[in-house]
Structure formats: C-alpha cells, structure tokens
C-alpha cells in the first residue's frame, strides 16, 4: 500500500474529493499539517494502543491490553490504516483504522476508527474513512459495514454524513442494555 500525502483543508472535505490531495488543515489548536496515510504495521500496535487507552471511548483498558488487542487483530488477518503527520522530525499518530475484507459475504468491515481526541472535528476522520473506502474499492470490495454503539451519537452522525445507512441493530451485544447499530454503505468508489 502506498502512502498518500494529504494536506487536510478544513472540517469539511473539499468538493474535488481530494483530487489534488494537498489542501490545508486549519484549526485553532495547531498549525497547518501534512497528513500522510499508510498501512498500519505490527510495530504500530503500541502507538495505536496508546491512543486507545488515552481515549475516553476506550480508556477502560490500559495501554498494554489495547496494544495486545491490536496485535491480535493483525495476527488474524485484519489490517489497518494510519494517519500521521511529522512534527519536530517525529511522526505523530493522528488516527487509525482496523478493517477486514469479506465479512458478511462480500462486505468489507471497519472494526475500529479513531482520531486523537485533541484532533477530532478537523476533517481527519473524514479523510481516513475515505481512504479506507478507496482501499476496499481497489480490492473490488464495493460494500462496507460497521457497528456503532447506540450511545455513540457523535460517530453515528459522522457515519450518516458519509453515506452510511443504519440497517439493523444487535441488541445487548457487548453488554446488557447496550446495542450495536449496524451501518452499511454500498457502491464504494475507487477514486482517490
Ligand atoms: C468519530 C471520529 C472517527 C470522527 O473523526 P473526526 O476527525 O473527529 O471527524 P471529522 O472532523 O471528519 O467530522 C466531524 C464530525 O464527526 C462527528 N464527531 C463524532 N465525534 C466527534 C468529536 N468527539 N468531536 C468532533 N466531531 C465528532 C460529528 O458529527 C462531527 O460533525 P460536526 O463537525 O458537524 O459536528 C472521531 O471523532 C473519533 O475518533 N471518535 C471516537 C472514536 C469513535 O467513536 N469511533 C467510532 C466507533 S469505533
């Protein structure tokens, strides 16, 4: 998988669908950054585990536990994407996905997507999701599904904005009283 350089522009994606992949991220919290997308490697498990353990959504498990979880998922054939940027000559993790092919018949599956909490709401998740969808389409996978916990209304709005349709619910899935909503998107486009 090739790295993709994308200078992220703003909260909303540009209308050219990243055709030139070089637009500027502006925010109150940081200066413009060049975002790069690449395949998640086994050696990224620790950094991803760190992001997860420090994130309010996943903070119930510590760094080691989250890192082992990521390593296990990679071991069993799932793969992922990393969004990162360079600061002071160091690569800084901005976000990640974990995904797999051919789940639910010919549907791809996005198991996890997460952005560093301090970087949310700046369009990085939108771009990461788009790169993930293009990756599927390039592998001839034109449909994708994912699960979103019923109380995670922010992520639901995010997915719905990006064309995901809620098609069902898995009641009491991870624990009693907590439902997972099933989202599907069809007709993925391999245009970067
Ligand atoms: C959901 C998530 C991936 C979106 O990435 P992002 O970079 O914040 O998203 P974008 O900037 O491209 O789009 C912003 C939209 O995402 C949604 N959103 C969800 N959580 C958000 C948050 N904490 N802050 C800001 N926007 C959030 C909103 O609908 C927002 O729309 P708005 O700008 O009209 O308010 C990211 O917020 C995240 O990592 N959330 C926690 C992990 C998670 O819930 N993952 C999905 C389940 S596995």
The three-point CA angle 55-118-29 to 5° equals 175
Ordered per-residue pLDDT tens for the chain, 192 residues: 445 554 443 333 323 333 223 334 444 345 567 899 999 999 999 999 999 999 999 988 999 999 999 999 999 999 999 999 999 999 999 999 999 997 777 899 999 999 999 999 999 999 999 999 999 999 999 999 999 999 999 999 999 999 999 999 999 998 899 999 999 999 998 877
Task: Name the residue with the closest Cα to ligand 1, atom 5.
Answer: 125
What is the reported pLDDT for 2? 47
Count of CB atoms situated within 10 Å of the CB of 38: 17
CB of 148 closer than 6 angstroms to any ligand 1 atom: yes
Distance from residue 117's CA to the centre of ligand 1 (Å)? 9
Q: Do β-strands 90-103 and 107-115 pair in parallel, antiparallel, or remain unpaired?
A: antiparallel
Q: Do β-strands 178-185 and 143-149 pair in parallel, antiparallel, or remain unpaired?
A: antiparallel
What is the reported pLDDT for 182? 97
What is the reported pLDDT for 92? 95
Per-domain residue ranges for the chain? 4-185
Distance from residue 172's CA to the centre of ligand 1 (Å)? 24
CATH no. for 4-185 = 3.40.630.30
């Amino acid at each position: 998988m090739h790295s993709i350089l994308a200078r992220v522009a703003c909260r909303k994606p540009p209308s050219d669908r990243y055709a030139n992949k070089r637009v500027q991220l502006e925010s109150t919290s940081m200066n413009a950054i060049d975002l790069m997308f690449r395949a998640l490697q086994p050696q990224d498990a620790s950094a991803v585990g760190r992001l997860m353990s420090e994130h309010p959504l996943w903070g119930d498990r510590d760094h080691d536990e989250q890192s082992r979880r990521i390593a296990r998922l990679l071991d069993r054939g799932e793969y992922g994407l990393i969004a990162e940027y360079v600061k002071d000559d160091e690569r800084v993790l901005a976000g990640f996905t974990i995904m797999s092919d051919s789940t639910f018949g010919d549907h791809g599956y996005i198991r996890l997507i997460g952005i560093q909490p301090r970087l949310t709401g700046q369009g990085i998740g939108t771009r990461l999701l788009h790169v993930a969808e293009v990756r599927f389409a390039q592998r001839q996978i034109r449909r994708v599904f994912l699960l979103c916990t019923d109380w995670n209304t922010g992520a639901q709005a995010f997915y719905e904005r990006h064309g995901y349709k809620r098609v069902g619910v898995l009641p009491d899935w991870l624990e009693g009283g907590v439902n997972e909503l099933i989202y599907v998107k069809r007709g993925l486009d391999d245009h970067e």
